[in-house]
Amino acid sequence: MYSFLVVSNDKAIGTFFKKSLSKDYVVHIARTHEEALQIFLKIDIDVTFLDVLLNDDGANKLTEELRRTNIEPTIVMIVPESQPILPEECRISGEYEYLKKPLRRDAVEMVSKRVFEKQELKRELGFIQSHMSHIKNLKPDDTRLSELAFNKQENARVPFLGYKEVFQKFSKVLTRVYDLGKLADLTVEAMAETFGVGRAVFMLLDKNDGLFRPFRCLGLDEITARSICFTTNQGIMLWLAKNHQILNKEVVNREVTTNKLTVRDAIKIQKEMNLLQAQLCIPIFANGNLSSVIALGNKITGKTFFDEDIELLSMLAGYIGMAVENAFLYQEVNLRRIHNENVLENIPYGIIVINKDYKVNIFNKNAARMLNLSSDDVIGKDVKYIGSLFANYLLRTLKDKKTFKRSEVVHPVTRSTYDISTSLLLDNNTELGAIMIFSDLSDVKKMETKIKDLENLVNGYLVNAENTIPPELTQAVTNLSKIWFSDRHRLKMEQDSLK
Please give the distance of CA 442 from its chain centroid, rounded to a whole number: 46
Question: Where are the domain boundaries for CATH 3.30.450.20 in the chain?
Answer: 347-440
Tens of pLDDT, residue by residue, the chain (499 residues): 788 899 998 888 988 988 888 888 888 999 998 888 888 888 888 888 988 888 888 888 888 887 777 677 788 888 887 665 544 444 444 445 788 888 888 888 888 887 887 776 566 545 544 544 444 454 444 444 334 333 434 443 444 445 555 555 565 556 566 778 888 888 888 888 888 899 999 999 998 889 999 999 998 888 888 889 999 999 999 999 999 999 998 888 788 888 888 888 988 999 999 999 999 999 999 888 999 999 999 998 888 888 888 888 888 888 888 888 888 887 777 777 777 777 777 778 889 999 999 999 889 988 988 888 888 888 889 999 998 889 999 999 999 998 898 888 888 877 888 889 999 988 877 888 999 999 888 777 777 676 676 666 666 655 554 555 566 556 665 665 666 556 555 555 555 554 4
**146-331 belongs to which homologous superfamily?**
GAF domain (3.30.450.40)
Global pTM value: 0.50
**347-440 belongs to which homologous superfamily?**
PAS domain (3.30.450.20)
**3-122 belongs to which homologous superfamily?**
Response regulator (3.40.50.2300)
Question: Where are the domain boundaries for CATH 3.30.450.40 in the chain?
Answer: 146-331
Question: Where are the domain boundaries for CATH 3.40.50.2300 in the chain?
Answer: 3-122
